[in-house]
A and B are shown apart, each in its own frame.
Chain A
């Protein structure tokens, strides 16, 4: 488990400087082209929503219902994955456009943006894959690492994972309540404030998808309700799959608190790299994943405009290869297969030995020695 042993502190610092150089180059280059990209995404998301909802109003015709669900799913996925998540990371703050401001953007999700920015931007992106600190590691309901103590409740975690996939946004909404801290170092009044925020988002989404649009549809209401439910369901499944492939694939590394104390920049980059995994695919696939298919690049540079990850990925991969570091990538089938395997394996108490990257990377070490 943990970080590779074949790199000296100086190597890791140099590795960090090379990544900094990639980041600086892109961030100094953002401009018109990036603005055009996000404006196209925004227009696609909104048109597909408008047309999708309109088609659901004719949902008694099966083809209309199906295309309505497809378009609304596309819109909801784009809004959460490629727009909301990335806007809230500050990827588009440089545009100085109030509609794309990380401070004020609110997304179509039952999780309020301020709670998301705390649990995701701060806790998860800072303490990525550190057992006991990164609350995304199993979302406090799943055991995802040998270093999490096994408890009998984990025997049913395959079922829990399926339920989480189907209702993913609700899990996300409740995530920042940090129920394990309630009554200990977190007061009930703080929880109450958060719960009111969540209720506001829940109410708005339920009213919009299951009351207001069905009312507009009149006799077509059942088709609109089922269509909206299907679109939310599709987004839950999709975002669950993409997000779980980001940190829980087969070869991904977990870390303990001790080894990550007082990390320098290069070491932080190293942990982000080893704790993340990418997905291979086509450009539309990457866009639909919110470019989280470039989870490695996203964790190295969370505030870089997402479509740039595609462009820098070959360079990041080349840097990793030179340092003999595993650049974990593969098609969705392989990576998600690894996730499923991990969920099943970790539900059982036994501890598997000898599959950590520390061992694998020692095999890679000579490659680095040659390159150096």
Chain B
């Protein structure tokens, strides 16, 4: 949309002409990607690097405000009539006008599996603004270590592509753990970069083909000068739990970590009673997050990622004691907006639903 058109459509007069509906409701008649405020995009290219993944290039509308390297965003699709959103790391460098993500098949992850199986050119995707602080600033250390496992390669690739685009790679070691060669995304690109850039050394470990999981001896052998390196780390929870102490024991330089899915420290069960004030329903807080308790009680609160990222399920809690399911921290709150999906009742809680 041309800025002047957008400014006109966003004017109070046009707003009054469409009231109480929004300008977007009418723009949707032309193209559902059009919106005055919401970032939305269309898939402009689909590539399948491995049998179990898909790499999507998404052309965002002009509400996309860009991203910093290593950030993630929510991709929303309508599946069987229901809007589902999940979080994915952005692989493309910030200078790239298109958004690249790679999605791996993931157990019962509906969005991931749908995209792997059915993503096609032209498809509408609902986007969120980019989030995350895997890369706190634009500066690049003299020597860096990038470690990733599985689909954890995606934000790390995003960081590396940014450095390469800005020609700031001096001494980077990239250690990636994949299950097997056929399973590894970005294998060809990494091999090419490794060959082309003297400042970049890529070490790929195939865990199912004798490479072994991350351990002290192997890490020392691969990165003997780890003490000098600032580290970026991303992978599944088990991998992160193993790798993080190894790195911390060897280097005092900053360690940046990016973890997918909010790992719940324990099974999501609460205590106490949950009172849904507006609908006058009381429920036991035992069965999962406040979001799950609300749904179990027949309520239909808004939700998005269900893992603490998108804030779609944010709701006012009048008062109560809640447990943050990511950190297990318990706190008393009063008139606070909380993400229901990552909080459980730790005592009696009154939710304004």
- Residues in chain A within 8 A of chain B (CB atoms): 30-36, 42-43, 46-47, 50, 90, 93-99, 101-103, 106-108, 201, 204-205, 207-208, 212-213, 216
Q: Does B25 contact A (CB under 8 A)?
A: yes
> Are B25 and A101 closer than 8 Å at their CB atoms?
no
Q: Does B65 contact A (CB under 8 A)?
A: no
Given contacts A46-B26, A50-B26, A99-B25, contact A106 B20 (CB under 8 A): yes
> Are B16 and A35 closer than 8 Å at their CB atoms?
no
Q: Does B17 contact A (CB under 8 A)?
A: yes
Contact with A along B73-88 (1 / 0, CB 8 A): 0000010111110000
Given contacts A31-B80, A32-B80, A204-B16, contact A94 B25 (CB under 8 A): no
Given contacts A35-B81, A93-B300, A94-B300, contact A208 B17 (CB under 8 A): yes
Known: A96-B84, A108-B21. 10 other contacts (CB 8 A): A34-B81, A47-B29, A50-B29, A90-B300, A95-B78, A97-B78, A101-B302, A107-B20, A108-B20, A201-B20
Q: Do most interface residues of chain B lie in helix, strand or loop, or is the interface mixed?
A: loop
Q: Which residues of A contact B304 (CB under 8 A)?
A: 96
A96–B113 Cα gap in the complex (Å)?
19
Given contacts A107-B20, A204-B19, A207-B16, contact A32 B26 (CB under 8 A): no
A95–B17 Cα gap in the complex (Å)?
27
A32–B83 Cα gap in the complex (Å)?
11
Given contacts A43-B29, A94-B300, contact A213 B83 (CB under 8 A): no
> Are A213 and B29 closer than 8 Å at their CB atoms?
no
Q: Does B192 contact A (CB under 8 A)?
A: no
> Are A212 and B16 closer than 8 Å at their CB atoms?
yes
A10–B133 Cα gap in the complex (Å)?
62
Q: Which residues of A contact B25 (CB under 8 A)?
A: 42, 46, 99
A34–B78 Cα gap in the complex (Å)?
12
CB proximity to A under 8 Å, residues B9-52: 13, 16-17, 19-22, 24-26, 28-29
Q: Does B163 contact A (CB under 8 A)?
A: no
Q: Does B303 contact A (CB under 8 A)?
A: yes
Among B13, B24, B83, max chain A CB count under 10 A is at B83
A35–B17 Cα gap in the complex (Å)?
27
Contact with A along B262-304 (1 / 0, CB 8 A): 0000000000000000000000000000000000000010111
Q: Which residues of A contact B24 (CB under 8 A)?
A: 99
The smallest beta-carbon distance between B181 and chain A, in angstroms, is: 38
The smallest beta-carbon distance between B101 and chain A, in angstroms, is: 21
B: contact size bracket: 20 to 34
> Are B302 and A96 closer than 8 Å at their CB atoms?
yes
Smallest CB-CB separation from A33: which chain B residue?
B81
Set B19, B22, B26: member contacting A208, Cβ < 8 A: B19
> Are B302 and A103 closer than 8 Å at their CB atoms?
yes
Among A42, A46, A90, A96, max chain B CB count under 10 A is at A96
A201–B19 Cα gap in the complex (Å)?
9
Q: Which residues of B contact A103 (CB under 8 A)?
A: 302
Q: Which residues of B contact A36 (CB under 8 A)?
A: 81
Q: Do most interface residues of chain A lie in helix, strand or loop, or is the interface mixed?
A: helix
Smallest CB-CB separation from B26: which chain A residue?
A46
Smallest CB-CB separation from B22: which chain A residue?
A99
A94–B24 Cα gap in the complex (Å)?
21
Q: Which residues of A contact B17 (CB under 8 A)?
A: 208, 212-213, 216
A267–B189 Cα gap in the complex (Å)?
68
Smallest CB-CB separation from A213: which chain B residue?
B17
Given contacts A95-B83, A97-B83, contact A208 B29 (CB under 8 A): no
> Are B26 and A95 closer than 8 Å at their CB atoms?
no
The smallest beta-carbon distance between A146 and chain B, in angstroms, is: 33
Among B21, B28, B81, B304, max chain A CB count under 10 A is at B81
The smallest beta-carbon distance between B20 and chain A, in angstroms, is: 4
Given contacts A96-B302, A107-B20, contact A31 B81 (CB under 8 A): yes
> Are A208 and B16 closer than 8 Å at their CB atoms?
yes
The smallest beta-carbon distance between B225 and chain A, in angstroms, is: 50
Q: Which residues of A contact B78 (CB under 8 A)?
A: 35, 95, 97
The smallest beta-carbon distance between A299 and chain B, in angstroms, is: 18
Given contacts A46-B29, A93-B300, contact A30 B81 (CB under 8 A): yes
Given contacts A46-B26, A47-B29, A99-B25, contact A94 B82 (CB under 8 A): yes
A95–B82 Cα gap in the complex (Å)?
4
Q: Which residues of B contact A35 (CB under 8 A)?
A: 78, 80-82
A369–B302 Cα gap in the complex (Å)?
47
A31–B304 Cα gap in the complex (Å)?
18
Q: Which residues of B contact A47 (CB under 8 A)?
A: 29
Q: Which residues of B contact A106 (CB under 8 A)?
A: 20
Given contacts A35-B78, A108-B20, A204-B20, contact A98 B26 (CB under 8 A): no
Q: Which residues of B contact A33 (CB under 8 A)?
A: 81
Can you list 28 A-B contacts (CB < 8 A)?
A: A31-B81, A31-B82, A32-B81, A33-B81, A34-B81, A35-B81, A36-B81, A42-B25, A43-B29, A46-B26, A46-B28, A50-B26, A50-B29, A95-B81, A96-B302, A97-B78, A99-B22, A99-B24, A101-B302, A103-B302, A107-B20, A204-B19, A207-B16, A208-B17, A208-B19, A212-B16, A212-B17, A216-B17
A353–B140 Cα gap in the complex (Å)?
90
The smallest beta-carbon distance between A205 and chain B, in angstroms, is: 8
The smallest beta-carbon distance between A300 and chain B, in angstroms, is: 16
What 9 A-B pairs are tightest by C-beta distance, nearest first?
A: A35-B81, A106-B20, A96-B83, A31-B80, A93-B300, A31-B81, A204-B19, A32-B81, A32-B80
Smallest CB-CB separation from A84: which chain B residue?
B20
The smallest beta-carbon distance between A171 and chain B, in angstroms, is: 19
Q: Which residues of A contact B83 (CB under 8 A)?
A: 95-97
A213–B17 Cα gap in the complex (Å)?
7
